[in-house]
Chains A and B, each alone.
Chain A
Amino acid sequence: QKEVEQDPGPLSVPEGAIVSLNCTYSNSAFQYFMWYRQYSRKGPELLMYTYSSGNKEDGRFTAQVDKSSKYISLFIRDSQPSDSATYLCAISRISGNTPLVFGKGTRLSVIA
């Protein structure tokens, strides 16, 4: 079983829709959870970061972690064409010297 699984999509939604992106992970040792956004031909940028179960909100973005189910989600409200990108989840252990584990990314297109 892979350490983190992410549906690659592609996912296409109309402008204004609520988008749900998800990842599952297999090891309960993972304690930090991140979402990155990657525009075409650019490096990934850190979008959100959390280390606890529950929700964390930042503008139109909400990161949700359910450690009991080993399930993480990113919700985008009122999606915009500028949100069109690939979204990667990433998880890491408490030990800072252990590299992050990335999902393969979900390609999102928001159609105007």
Chain B
Amino acid sequence: SQTIHQWPATLVQPVGSPLSLECTVEGTSNPNLYWYRQAAGRGLQLLFYSVGIGQISSEVPQNLSASRPQDRQFILSSKKLLLSDSGFYLCAWGTATIYFGEGSWLTVV
């Protein structure tokens, strides 16, 4: 069966610090991968999606970036965090339906 792992689960970072969130999927090959953000009281915002290694589509221009160095690994990064980057970040995989990881809570202070 397929599983998705996302880490770290919680982090508190100062403004201007870098960010790296990692996500890996097991039990499937060449999955579509996604990064979403969910701010408090708001809906899911698609940040990036990837249909293959090195193929990244950005949905929202911002100071975040994504990379897919391996088939089942998806990384979300930032060089300098802003207060507005705080939120709940979710990795997901799938095609017509998608399956989410447990999420990473990011608080920028």
A-facing mask of B3-23, CB < 8 A → 1, else 0? 000100000000000000000
B83 at interface by CB-CB < 8 Å: no
Considering only residues 77-112 of chain A, those with a C-beta below 8 Å from chain B are: 88, 92, 94, 96-97, 99-100, 102-105
Given A103-B43, A105-B43 in contact, is the A96-B103 Cβ separation under 8 Å? no
Contact, CB under 8 Å: A45 / B32: no
| B contact patch SS | strand
A-side contacts of B98, CB under 8 Å: 46, 100
Contact, CB under 8 Å: A96 / B32: yes
A71 at interface by CB-CB < 8 Å: no
A95 to B92, CA, bound (A): 17
A61 at interface by CB-CB < 8 Å: no
* Other A-B pairs beyond A32-B97, A96-B95, 20, CB < 8 Å: A34-B97, A36-B100, A42-B103, A43-B6, A43-B103, A45-B100, A46-B97, A51-B96, A92-B96, A92-B97, A94-B96, A96-B96, A99-B34, A99-B49, A100-B97, A102-B43, A103-B43, A104-B42, A105-B43, A105-B44
